[in-house]
Amino acid sequence: MNREYFVVDAFASEPFTGNPAAVLLDADGLDDVRMASIAAEFNLSETTFVLPPSEPEAADSGSDAPGLSVRFRWFTPTAEVDMCGHATIAGVHALVETGRIPVKGVGETSVVHIETRSGLLTAYVERIPGAESGRMIWLDLIDPILTPQDLSLDEFADALGLSAGVFDRSLPPIRSQDRDALVFVGDAAALNNARPDFARLMTLLERYDLRGLSLATTNTLTPSINVQSRFFAPTAGINEDAVTGSVHGPLAAYLVQQGSVPVHEGLAGLTCVQGIPDRRAGLVNALVQPLDGGGYAVRIGGRAITAMTGVIVV
């Protein structure tokens, strides 16, 4: 049968910026092997497969807001993953483009409940005032879990093609629940100068049982940007990802935890940029709410735009 697909640039307002993800609508009936083959054929960092929820009555049980319920599965070219932020934004965008999610007026929100391997997610679609077709897609992430991560920074510096002196010692490395290490350098120049030896970096990540490395700085080129970052995940088949939505939950929460971003009336707002130097970059908005008793709730948001559409015969 023919199945419609989209290639969507997430965290982008113009085509061929941000982070591309393939989205295959109506993936019901595909087995794991066929999904893996399709993702390898697209050869993008992630492919989203949209399926009916396995438990429709439970999909929206965590929210008072009724909305569409779906199930997402995400595959890299080499493996299935538990969570992917930019491919979720892309999947919701494709559902909007096909009319499965109605876009309401300014000031109103459409809700999507998403069943995933990492738990239930909720996404919100808002119309941007003054932009006829502009939409912001927000995603409530799983609450970040941050634990200290002891790393040999000298070895990581060598693998990244940097000197050990570039690291920001005021922000020690931290580990997220997704097995990503968050490591900070002193400025944007050091961030952009990183030229990883991916074979060496993969060996280090495997040694520490890490999925990926978020290299970031708070010393950005403009005060309007709170944090700039790059993300490397050669162990997951992605040497460098253009914009990684899921890592911005732990990244934003950590900066609030460390006092790098102020909290006003119980909420902190961050503007984040991630990109591959001289290639692609995208903008991620993050809202962080400190929770009673510790911990943080994080919502990330961004725009998306369709770059390609087509039909796959499987």
CATH class of 2-142+302-313: alpha beta
Active-site residue, from 4, 14, 46, 57? 46
The pLDDT > 70 percentage for the chain reads 95
On the question of a common fold for 2-142+302-313 and 147-289, the answer reads: yes
Examine the residue annotation and report whether 46 is marked as an active-site residue of this protein.
Answer: yes
- Is the domain spanning 147-289 CATH 3.90.1300.10? The answer is no
**Whether the predicted pLDDT of 182 surpasses 90:** yes
The pTM of this model reads: 0.90
> 28 or 65, which is more confident?
28
Distance between CA atoms of 312 and 1, rounded to whole angstroms? 8
pLDDT the model gives residue 161 = 98
Residues 212-230: what's their mean pLDDT? 96
Q: Where are the domains of the chain?
A: 2-142+302-313, 147-289
pLDDT the model gives residue 65 = 59
Residues 253-276: what's their mean pLDDT? 96
Residues 45-69: what's their mean pLDDT? 75
Across 132-136, 142-146, 251-255, 309-313, least confident range? 132-136
- The answer to whether residues 95 and 111 touch, using CB atoms and an 8 Å cutoff, is no
Across 232-241, 255-264, 269-278, least confident range? 232-241
Residues 188-210: what's their mean pLDDT? 97
> 83 or 214, which is more confident?
214
Sign of the dihedral through C-alpha 178, 179, 185, 188: negative
Residues 145-167: what's their mean pLDDT? 96
pLDDT the model gives residue 295 = 94
Among the listed residues 91, 48, 151, 84, the one whose alpha carbon sits nearest the alpha carbon of residue 306: 91
Amino acid code (one letter) for 242: A
Residues 56-66: what's their mean pLDDT? 55
Say which residues have a Cβ less than 8 Å from residue 203's Cβ, sequence separation at least 6: none
**Whether the predicted pLDDT of 135 surpasses 90:** no
